């Protein structure tokens, strides 16, 4: 049977032709998944020698090259060997089969070194290059950070070190010799096992590392520097002792324990859950301040952004702790899903990232509250991945083309990819999923494979056909699932009629149905789950227990349940968010939602019902406020959202409150539902905190037809918070009181302690919107008396949104307290960046020249510049000043670091979600970015594709 996935692929291929990009001075080349061909040569062994010196570093690379071109036609010469490079990598010499080549015997361009006239069979190549890591601001390849050397090779950074076949299907065994000044760089780390160390002339020393496992070059790493270390040990399930080390700057040694603790949890979890054991005697983690992403899974030498791996109660929040655990787990889990089994080509990135993200999500679920973790993951997916999937950069979890691979480390590849992996688990069950994983490793250990190989292992291990899951890999866009329900009181049957549609995305106008597993329950009149008895076409009845999974894979289908009883049940659909879709239940009333919020046995859907109620009300508020005073200049009575354009602060607030009052304000039933949640003693505090959080602004924006006015939407969200806090003040204050710990109680990162803080701080945040002087004073007191960062930043976060002297007092006190801790100052920058306080753009502008801000450091750019884009009031200011500010920043950062600059363009990509005047302003900035001279390929790709979809 032909895999349906193929049809989906044909569509995108046909469309690709029309999908041409505007011109760029250096005409970047798109790479296409369809063009994959195995390399003509492989590399069996790599012997690297790094001579690290202050002026320049010399890298000598000795390769054992083997032919992979098959039988040559009679008399034909071997094909050329084209090695990848980068223009800042100076070629010193190249030798083939022991003979140094003269200039003219090889071809060198900015990007490649081509060797021809090669011998048949295996031969050696020696490449000597010279690098200036101290000038490498891209942070790809070999660079210096805080005086130490480190590397980042994924995706295509190894070519920034030496000329090489820089592609993941070339897997080699590596030996690395590192030599450096012994006093300045006492620690020398590489992949694998430490084989030898020794002294060299001139106060220098060296180390030789041997990695016994073949790996693609993107997993290569080296670190040389002055670093302090902490060590622990882990005994694996087969009784081997593994030494675990974390290396940090001396001053951060007190923040290193949690990473080792989390690593041990992760190692144990992977053994218990998947039978996966660590495969070397040494595992190293290094914290680096200048790092483009969160962390990197280099074989046995994981390198982390210091903001992701360092934590102490006084400097890190509960959220930081839980992220740390997730990221440490993520990188560790890559040892099997990514390193032992890797990707054949970069289009397959989700093979390792979607799967490893799924694994880290499951790890975190098992360590903490499963329900809360699921809610958090779905919130992120909806707020950010759905936006990506509905915008001009929409791409399938397995993309069809790219200019710069770095631009495809996206929420789609990672988080939607993880949802796709979760579909297998939902369909096969935990045990079936495990069987599939076992077969995957049995078949592919040591190989570079594709997403199809993963699907085949899952299918074969379970003896089922999973071809229809293939469509999820090839098709972009968030599917819409529409369900109509019908109860027949006479036959006591209940029928769900499901329809699905995936909207067109750039390059993919026509979509196919996808396989949607619908996990569901039916609630009886007393709120308990009814037995699910599904009637099949042939008349047979299948018993699904009280939570079943329907397999919906056509454009439309009906499912009928029998013996549902004398009353119409209330459906609880897509329990646990069993597929990454947008669900609409026709005829779902507020009464249904209140009923589910009170009774659903599925905690995810309890939360979801509350979100739906809040979303409906917020949309009503928004439309009422937008319509309150039609814009004078919209001739056709036109675009209602534009009506409030330009209103700010108190005026905007008054507008929203008037409009809201006109339809009776917040209904009592909603207030009562929230009251029930806050006061329910049976509910976990973290769950309550989630249930008391309103849908994110990003998620709400998706729901506004014709484009949203972000300041107005934000004002509505704030007005609802204020209204709820006004009526529930006694309950919220009780929650604060009951969940406050005495100051002498030491901080613990544990589920129960986090739950108390989460509920308390959520209640405080709601109360803070009242802008009551007594509450504001209490916030300031709590800020001053906080004994951990979670409480401190929670209070500060509330104060920053308020105007008045408390705001400045708190910000100044915080800065004075943490002047010497750049990681904590990231929070300080971030809070100010995203603030909606009047006149805040000027403050953000001033911060760009504050000593706490360093534009060459990615974390600083993300906190302040990207952080600014989170301010609905100022980034989306009606006069376009916020957009101009970010575009200026993009251009400035692009001169330093292309990957970071490209990430700063993302807020412009979603221009279509906003009202027409804002759309025009955002597109104008994209145009301006594109017209800038010497634009990087990274920024070019995002900006041009964003505009192209106009």
Is residue 156 at the binding interface for ligand TRP, with CB under 6 A as the rule? no
Report whether 494 contacts 486 (CB < 8 A): yes
779's contact among ligand TRP, Zn ion, none, with CB below 5 to 8 A by partner kind, is: none
Query: Taking the complex as a whole, how short is the minimal distance between the CB of residue 167 and ligand TRP, in angstroms?
Result: 15
CB atoms within 10 A of CB 231: 10
Choosing from 325, 353, 529, 806, the residue that interacts with ligand TRP (CB under 6 A) is 353
Question: Please, which of residues 643-662 interact with Zn ion by CB under 5 A?
Answer: none
CA angle, 873 then 879 then 882, to 5°: 55
Choosing from 126, 166, 169, 297, the residue that interacts with ligand TRP (CB under 6 A) is 297
Three-state DSSP class for residue 921: helix
Residues 214, 138: Cα–Cα separation, whole Å: 27
Residues 700, 619: Cα–Cα separation, whole Å: 8
Q: Indicate the residue among 356 and 368 with the shorter CB distance to Zn ion.
A: 356
Q: Which of 154, 297, 331, 699 is catalytic?
A: 331
Q: Give the relative orientation of helices 898-909 and 937-948 as an angle to the nearest 10 degrees.
A: 10
DSSP 8-state secondary structure symbol assigned to residue 196: E
Is residue 309 at the binding interface for ligand TRP, with CB under 6 A as the rule? no
Peptide bond into 196 cis (omega under 30): no
**Number of residues in contact with ligand TRP under rule CB under 6 A:** 13
- Span interacting with ligand TRP, options 295-303, 373-381, 604-612, 653-661, rule CB under 6 A: 295-303
CA angle, 869 then 875 then 879, to 5°: 160
Q: Which two tokens stand for residue 532?
A: 């699910």
Query: Taking the complex as a whole, how short is the minimal distance between the CB of residue 717 and ligand TRP, in angstroms?
Result: 32
Report whether 149 contacts 141 (CB < 8 A): no
Residue 156 bears catalytic tag:
no
Residues 256, 273: Cα–Cα separation, whole Å: 26
Residues 509, 413: Cα–Cα separation, whole Å: 21
- Span interacting with ligand TRP, options 149-157, 193-201, 581-589, 919-927, rule CB under 6 A: 149-157
152's contact among Zn ion, ligand TRP, none, with CB below 5 to 8 A by partner kind, is: ligand TRP
Choosing from 83, 178, 221, 296, the residue that interacts with ligand TRP (CB under 6 A) is 296
Question: Please, which of residues 324-363 interact with Zn ion by CB under 5 A?
Answer: 353, 356
406's contact among ligand TRP, Zn ion, none, with CB below 5 to 8 A by partner kind, is: ligand TRP
Query: Taking the complex as a whole, how short is the minimal distance between the CB of residue 409 and ligand TRP, in angstroms?
Result: 5
Q: Indicate the residue among 136 and 588 with the shorter CB distance to ligand TRP.
A: 136
**Number of residues in contact with Zn ion under rule CB under 5 A:** 2
Sign of CA dihedral 93, 96, 97, 102: negative
Residues 870, 866: Cα–Cα separation, whole Å: 7
x/- track of binding to ligand TRP for residues 248-287 (CB under 6 A): ----------------------------------------
Phi-psi region of 299 (alpha: psi -120 to 50; beta: other; left: phi over 0): beta
Report whether 139 contacts 292 (CB < 8 A): yes
Query: Taking the complex as a whole, how short is the minimal distance between the CB of residue 405 and ligand TRP, in angstroms?
Result: 7
Query: Taking the complex as a whole, how short is the minimal distance between the CB of residue 33 and Zn ion, in angstroms?
Result: 20
Query: Taking the complex as a whole, how short is the minimal distance between the CB of residue 356 and ligand TRP, in angstroms?
Result: 7
- Span interacting with ligand TRP, options 104-112, 243-251, 293-301, 640-648, rule CB under 6 A: 293-301
Is residue 894 at the binding interface for ligand TRP, with CB under 6 A as the rule? no
CB atoms within 10 A of CB 328: 28
CA angle, 101 then 140 then 329, to 5°: 125
Q: Indicate the residue among 211 and 353 with the shorter CB distance to ligand TRP.
A: 353
Sign of CA dihedral 688, 690, 691, 692: positive
CA distances in angstroms from 388 to 373, 493, 627, 770, listed in the order given: 22, 40, 29, 34
Report whether 841 contacts 885 (CB < 8 A): yes
Q: Indicate the residue among 266 and 886 with the shorter CB distance to Zn ion.
A: 266
Choosing from 145, 150, 176, 292, the residue that interacts with ligand TRP (CB under 6 A) is 292
Residue 36 main-chain phi, psi, to 5 deg: -60, 130
Question: Please, which of residues 402-461 interact with ligand TRP by CB under 6 A?
Answer: 406, 409
Question: Please, which of residues 316-335 interact with ligand TRP by CB under 6 A?
Answer: 330-331
Q: Indicate the residue among 166 and 353 with the shorter CB distance to Zn ion.
A: 353
CA distances in angstroms from 705 to 185, 437, 622, 623, listed in the order given: 58, 43, 12, 10
Residues 765, 758: Cα–Cα separation, whole Å: 10
Choosing from 12, 145, 152, 407, the residue that interacts with ligand TRP (CB under 6 A) is 152
Query: Taking the complex as a whole, how short is the minimal distance between the CB of residue 408 and ligand TRP, in angstroms?
Result: 9
Chain contacts with Zn ion (rule: CB under 5 A): 353, 356
Catalytic residues: 331
Sites of contact with ligand TRP (CB under 6 A): 152, 154-155, 292-293, 295-297, 330-331, 353, 406, 409
């Amino acid at each position: 049977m032909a895999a349906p996935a193929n049809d989906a692929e044909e569509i995108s291929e046909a469309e690709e032709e029309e999908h041409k990009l505007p011109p760029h001075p250096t005409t970047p080349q798109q790479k296409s998944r369809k063009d994959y061909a195995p390399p003509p040569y492989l590399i069996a062994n790599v012997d690297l020698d790094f001579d690290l010196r202050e002026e320049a570093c010399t890298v000598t690379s000795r390769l054992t090259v083997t032919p992979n071109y098959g039988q040559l036609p009679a008399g034909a010469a071997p094909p050329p060997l084209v090695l990848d490079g980068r223009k800042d990598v100076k070629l010193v010499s190249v030798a083939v089969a022991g003979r140094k080549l003269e200039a003219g015997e090889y071809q060198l361009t900015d990007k490649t070194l081509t060797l021809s006239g090669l011998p048949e069979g295996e031969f050696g190549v020696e490449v000597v290059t010279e690098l200036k890591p101290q000038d490498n601001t891209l942070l790809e390849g070999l660079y210096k950070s805080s005086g130490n050397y480190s590397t980042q090779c994924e995706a295509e950074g190894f070519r920034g070190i030496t000329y090489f076949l820089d592609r993941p299907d070339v897997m080699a065994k590596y030996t690395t010799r590192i030599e450096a000044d012994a006093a300045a760089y006492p620690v020398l780390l590489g992949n694998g096992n430490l084989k030898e160390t020794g002294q060299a002339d001139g106060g220098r020393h060296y180390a030789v590392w041997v990695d016994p496992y073949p790996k693609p070059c993107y997993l290569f790493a080296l670190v040389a520097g002055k670093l302090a270390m902490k060590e622990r040990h882990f005994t694996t399930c087969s009784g081997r002792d593994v030494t675990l080390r974390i290396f940090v700057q001396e001053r951060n040694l007190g923040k290193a324990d949690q990473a080792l603790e989390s690593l041990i949890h992760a190692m144990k979890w992977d053994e218990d859950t998947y039978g996966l054991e660590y495969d070397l005697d040494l595992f190293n983690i290094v914290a680096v301040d200048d790092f483009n992403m969160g962390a990197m899974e280099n074989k046995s030498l994981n390198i982390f952004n210091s903001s992701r791996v360092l934590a102490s109660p006084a400097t890190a929040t509960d959220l930081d702790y839980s992220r740390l655990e997730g990221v440490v787990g993520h990188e560790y889990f890559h040892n099997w899903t990514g390193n032992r089994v890797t990707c054949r080509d970069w289009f397959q990135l989700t093979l390792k990232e979607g799967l490893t993200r799924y694994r880290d999500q499951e790890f975190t679920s098992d360590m903490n509250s499963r329900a809360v973790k699921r809610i958090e993951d779905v919130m992120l997916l909806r707020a950010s991945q759905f936006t990506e999937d509905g915008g001009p950069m929409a791409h399938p979890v397995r993309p069809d083309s790219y200019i710069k691979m770095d631009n495809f480390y996206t929420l789609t590849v990672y988080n939607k990819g993880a949802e796709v992996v979760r579909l297998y688990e939902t369909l096969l069950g935990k045990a079936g999923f495990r069987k599939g994983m076992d077969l995957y490793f049995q078949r592919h250990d040591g190989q570079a494979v594709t997403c199809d190989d993963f699907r085949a292992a899952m299918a074969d291990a379970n003896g089922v056909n999973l071809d229809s899951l293939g469509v999820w890999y090839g098709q972009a866009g968030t599917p819409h699932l529409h369900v109509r329900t019908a109860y027949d009181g006479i036959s006591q049957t209940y029928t769900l009629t499901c329809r699905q549609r995936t909207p067109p995305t750039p390059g993919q106008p026509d979509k196919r149905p996808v396989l949607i597993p619908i996990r569901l329950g039916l609630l009886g009149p007393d709120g308990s789950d009814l037995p699910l008895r599904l009637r099949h076409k042939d008349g047979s009845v299948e018993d699904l227990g009280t939570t079943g999974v329907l397999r919906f894979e056509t454009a439309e289908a009906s499912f009928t349940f029998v013996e549902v009883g004398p009353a119409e049940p209330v459906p609880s659909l897509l329990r646990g968010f069993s597929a990454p879709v947008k669900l609409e239940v026709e005829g779902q009333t507020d009464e249904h939602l209140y009923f589910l919020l009170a009774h659903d046995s599925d905690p995810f859907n309890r939360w979801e019902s509350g979100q739906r109620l809040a979303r409906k009300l917020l949309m009503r508020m928004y439309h009422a406020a937008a319509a309150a005073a039609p814009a004078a200049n919209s001739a056709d009575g036109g675009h209602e959202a534009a009506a409030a354009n330009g209103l700010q602060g108190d005026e905007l607030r008054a507008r929203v409150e008037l409009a809201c009052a006109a339809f009776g304000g917040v209904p009592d039933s909603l207030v009562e539902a929230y009251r029930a949640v806050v006061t329910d003693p049976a509910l976990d505090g973290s769950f309550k905190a989630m249930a008391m959080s309103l849908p994110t602004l990003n998620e709400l924006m998706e729901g506004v037809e014709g484009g949203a006015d972000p300041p107005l939407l934000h004002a509505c969200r704030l007005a609802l918070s204020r209204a709820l806090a006004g009526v529930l003040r006694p309950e919220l204050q009780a929650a604060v009181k009951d969940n406050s710990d005495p100051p002498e109680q030491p901080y613990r990162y544990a589920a129960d302690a986090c739950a108390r803080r989460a509920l308390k701080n959520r209640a405080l945040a709601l109360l803070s919107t009242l802008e009551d002087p007594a509450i504001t004073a209490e916030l300031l007191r709590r800020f001053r008396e906080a004994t951990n960062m979670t409480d401190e930043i929670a209070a500060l976060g509330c104060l920053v949104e308020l105007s008045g002297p408390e705001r400045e007092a708190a910000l100044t006190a915080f800065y004075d307290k943490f002047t010497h801790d750049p990681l904590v100052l990231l929070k300080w920058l971030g809070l100010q960046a995203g603030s909606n306080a009047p006149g805040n753009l000027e403050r953000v502008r001033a911060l760009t020249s504050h000593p706490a801000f360093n534009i060459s450091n990615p974390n600083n750019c993300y906190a302040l510049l990207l952080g600014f884009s989170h301010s609905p009031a100022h980034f989306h200011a009606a006069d376009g000043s916020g957009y101009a500010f970010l575009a200026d920043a993009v251009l400035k950062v692009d001169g330093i670091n292309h990957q970071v600059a490209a990430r700063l363009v993302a807020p412009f990509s979603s221009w279509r979600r906003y009202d027409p005047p804002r759309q025009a302003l955002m597109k104008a900035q994209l145009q301006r970015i594109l017209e800038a001279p010497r634009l990087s390929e990274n920024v070019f790709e995002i900006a041009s594709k964003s505009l192209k979809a106009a």
